[in-house]
Structure 1
Amino acid sequence: MSARKIACVALLAAGSIALAACDSGSTAPPTQTPTQSQDNQGGSSAPSETSTAAPKATEKYEPATAAAPAKNVPIPTMPAVAKNNSDDGAKSFAEYYFSLINYSIETNDVSLIKKVTTRQCQVCGEDIIDPAGRAKQKNMWQVGGKHHFEVIDVYKTANNRTVVSLRYKVDESEFYIMKYKPEAKLESLPSTILALNLLYDKGWKVDSIVGES
C-alpha cells in the first residue's frame, strides 16, 4: 500500500496514549473510549518490536498490574541505522518511535519522545505527550494498552522528508489511581493503518501523524 494515499489526521483516545485512526468519510472508525466498569475485548499482537535497553540484574522489570505501576521499564534504544537519512533509517526510526509510545504508556515519562517530536505535530503534543504529563501529576498508571506495529511502506517525499506507514493494533487497557480500583477502561483497537510524517534535520523527528483515507 502506498503511503501517498495517507490523507487525514489520526486522533488518540482522550486522556490516554492509545492511538486511533480517523476516516475521511462520514462513518467513524473504531476508536478507544474510556468506560466505567465494562468488560472489553482483548488485543492480539502483530509482528515487529524495536529493541530496548535491558534492565540491570538488580532492577528486574515488573509490568504494571492493578496493584502497582510498572517498575524498571527498559529504556528504548535508538538503533544506529535509525539516524540515517535513508529508507532503512526512516523505517527503523518509526519502529523506535512506537517503542517510545509504549515506554511513555508504562512510565508517563515523555522526555525521550519529546526529543524526537516537532512542535508542529499537534496530535503528538495534545494526544500523546500532554496526557502522559497529566497522568503523571495524578499518579495514574496504565495496565495494558500496548501498541503492536509493523511497517508496511516507506515513501520519500523530499530530500529531508519521508512518510512511513504502519499497520498497528492496541491491547485493551485499564487506568488506576488507587490499586484494584480502575478509573476507566479502554477497549482493544483492531488492526488499522497509520502513517508518520518524518522530518530529517541532523536526525529524524515526527512532524505529524496521519491516518488512511
Structure 2
Amino acid sequence: MTRTILRRSRVWSFPAVFAAVVLAGCSGASGDSGTGAASPSPSQSSASTTPTPTPTPSAVYKPASAEGPAENVPLPVMPEEAKVESKEGLEAFARYWYEAANYGYETGDVGLVQAISSPDCVTCQKYYEVVENGFKDSDWMANAAIEVLGVHSDFLLTPEGRYQALVHFRQDKMEYYGPEGLQTVGEPDAAVVQLVEAIRLNEHWQVVNIATIKG
C-alpha cells in the first residue's frame, strides 16, 4: 500500500527565520448509629441500606501500537486564549492546530483540523490525505506524534491580510499498520520549523497556509 509521508527540513533560528519571512513579504449522606437511639422507621431503615452509587471509572487512554490502533484518545480542547485576536492568541491557536493534527494521527478523525483550516490550505489537504491513507480499510497509524517545541509571532499583518507564526516542532517516525502487521515506516523529523499563516474569520482564527521553512 502506498503511503504519502510529509517531509520536513532542518530547523532555523526563530528570529532569523521570521525576519527573513517578513522582509520577503511571505505570506453522596451518612447517618449517626450511636447506641440508645430510637429504632429507625421503616422508611429510614430502607434509606440507610440503599447502596452508594459507585463512580464509573473513566476510560483509559491506550496509544497505538503493533497490537492495534489508539483507544480512548483525549479530545483536545481549544483554550480560550486561542480565540483572542492578539499575539498570544495566535501563538496559542497555532499550538492547538498541531494538537488537533495529533488527534487525527491517532484516531483517523481530521474534523478538528478541518474546522479551523481553510479549504484552500494545500498543506492541510496533504495532511488529510496522509491520515486517510493511514486509516484506510482496517489500517491504523502509530508513533506519528508532533511535539511543539516553541511558537513565535511578531503579530504583523501581511499585505495579503494574514498573520504569521513560526512553529518549531519535532515529529516521531510514522508507522503504518494493517491486519498483516507493520507495513510502512516513515522517517522521523528531528526538528522542523513551519510558517503558519492565519486570518480572522467570524471572530475566530483560521489557518490558510502552512509552509515548511527550507534552508
TM-score, normalised to structure 2, is 0.70
Larger Rg over CA atoms: 2
What is the aligned partner in structure 1 of residue 83 from structure 2? 83
1:124-146 per-residue CA deviation (whole Å, 9 max, x = no partner) reads: 11x11133233333222111021
Say whether the 8 Å CA contact 2:10–2:193 is kept in structure 1. no
1:208 deviates by 0.4
What is the aligned partner in structure 1 of residue 4 from structure 2? 15
1:55-87 per-residue CA deviation (whole Å, 9 max, x = no partner) reads: x84311010010110000000000001001100
Between 1 and 2, higher relative CO (CA 8 Å, sep ≥ 6) is seen in: 1
1:130-187 per-residue CA deviation (whole Å, 9 max, x = no partner) reads: 33233333222111021111234203232963111011111123110116x2110112
For 1:113, give the aligned amino acid: V
Consecutive unaligned residues in structure 2, runs of 5 or more: 12-55
User: For residues 187 and 57 of structure 1, do their structure 2 counterparts lie closer, same or farther at Cα, with a shift above 3 Å needed?
Assistant: farther
Higher normalized helix content (fraction of residues): 2
Q: For the residues of structure 2 that align with 1:22 and 1:129, how far apart are their CA atoms? A: 23
- The alignment yields a C-alpha RMSD, in angstroms, of 2.2
User: For residues 88 and 69 of structure 1, do their structure 2 counterparts lie closer, same or farther at Cα, with a shift above 3 Å needed?
Assistant: same
Of the structure 1 ranges 58-67 and 144-153, higher mean CA displacement relative to structure 2 is found in 144-153
TM-score, normalised to structure 1, is 0.71
**Superposition pairs for residues 1-213 of structure 1, below 5 Å?**
15-16=4-5, 18=6, 20-21=8-9, 57-125=57-125, 127-158=126-157, 161-178=162-179, 181-201=181-201, 202-213=203-214
Aligned length: 165
For 1:170, give the aligned amino acid: Q
What is the aligned partner in structure 1 of residue 43 from structure 2? none
Higher normalized strand content (fraction of residues): 1
Say whether the 8 Å CA contact 2:138–2:179 is kept in structure 1. no
For 2:104, give the aligned amino acid: S
Say whether the 8 Å CA contact 2:91–2:151 is kept in structure 1. no
For 2:8, give the aligned amino acid: A
Say whether the 8 Å CA contact 2:95–2:151 is kept in structure 1. no
1:28-70 per-residue CA deviation (whole Å, 9 max, x = no partner) reads: xxxxxxxxxxxxxxxxxxxxxxxxxxxx843110100101100
User: For residues 137 and 211 of structure 1, do their structure 2 counterparts lie closer, same or farther at Cα, with a shift above 3 Å needed?
Assistant: closer
For 1:191, give the aligned amino acid: A
SS at match of 1:63: coil
For 1:174, give the aligned amino acid: E
Say whether the 8 Å CA contact 1:91–1:151 is kept in structure 2. no
1:89 deviates by 0.5
Consecutive unaligned residues in structure 1, runs of 5 or more: 1-13, 24-55
